[in-house]
Structure 1
């Protein structure tokens, strides 16, 4: 205690120092700047906190918006997925029905095509069968025509021999019935020789004609029968006793100068020539003018044209001889 009192008695408070005005101004300025800085810092911190709060709030709002959008997207996705599944199922069912219908249609169409093909094949078969039958008929007709043409060609040769014999008979009739002249004797003998040659030629043709018929079995029966008939008529005339008398007895009458017998044979020659002419006319009407036109196709017409040209040349020659004979008769 005594020490404390001793120390207390010795302590002295500092004496107040008189404050400098300049220092006081500096202190006040420093204090004001410090306060200003504190206010600015507080204001800046407040603004910063406000910005942070705004940013946080904006972030929360964005998160909420994004969450909502995500939810909507998921809902839309679910809706679209269900729609897709429904459409897919509907399309599968529709596809199944369509495939079934197509298979049924395809089956029906295939069946229809098969039936149509069968019908078409049947029509074609009938068509070709009819065509084949027609061609067979035409072929048989053509074979018949060709065979008949061959028969007709030989027949015309025989009838041409008959015509030549008829011409000789007419010449004999001409010389025998005219006023008798010794110069006629040689001409009558010449025609008698021709007539005998024609009769011999006809006999040879007549004997060979049946073989022609056998070689052409496809010839038309009606035409063949008609040809046979006319050739038989010619043969009857060629073998008639009157013809035999002219060929066998007339030469002797010529040698004897028997005018009565010569004129009688001339009349007989006229009758025989008329008979051959009638046979020729009948043949021309029944066969040559009818069957020959039907039978001569372009392929065979040339053969008959050549044959007819040859016959026409011979006919012209005979007519020329008849004219010359008439001229000689009148001149004498």
Structure 2
């Protein structure tokens, strides 16, 4: 007999136990989290600098992008603790309250990123498909209210993580559960399933519907031609920004969030079925689902590196601010030169 789990959770399944060989995660997770930490922190710090210090007038899209960047930054700041934990082969050297806090921040900011990407997509959808009505519907004040509502929703929905997460002494050291202790796993499965539906599946469907309608609108022959030549140029720029945003956001959902949630749901379901009826799920099948889940976890973290690209490429603000700064410096240099000549 042996034991098994995600992050070495141990539990009894009638008289049946499974043992997994998970040594690969002690290399995969620390290395991938370290890469995300270095790259993501640099990109998000740059985005925050431009938004906070180089953006004078905050549009609704700027407000959503600021909150998305804050989510990613707070998420990234939890990674050093997890890098140390997994590099030390599941031996948590810190206190239980810190374990709870790190797990809470990890998932709260992950789902915060998903919801703010959904907000950005809805904002662009309204501007493309209902340009006249968007003048009345969209405002910086409403964007701030929506952002507060998103943060409240995320904190409320992720608060149970503070209860479920805990530490326990094991053969390998002190385990900081990614899920929860064995006796609470059934309750955790219900909670995790509800959160996955409300904070991933629903936003994902909203994003897909919005982008489907946006693409159909952008492909209309007469779209953007009402304002003459100047209006046509502006429409082309808007179309290019919208296409870039669609590609980046869909790539984030399809490559980062979708594989993570599918493999996690599969693993949790197999684990539960193994507890209920061990004959239904073999150890090999359970191990395969566990490996798949752990392999996709770095993909979920990689969204923190992709999100700033949404701002740099689709937002245009960075380039315009940097261009203005460069022009201003050039003009000042020219003035100094002329003054010197005089």
TM-score range, shorter chain: 0.3 to 0.5
Greater helix percent: which structure? Answer: 1
Higher relative contact order (CA 8 A, sep 6+): 2
TM-score by length of 1: 0.35
- Greater gyration radius: 1
TM-score by length of 2: 0.34
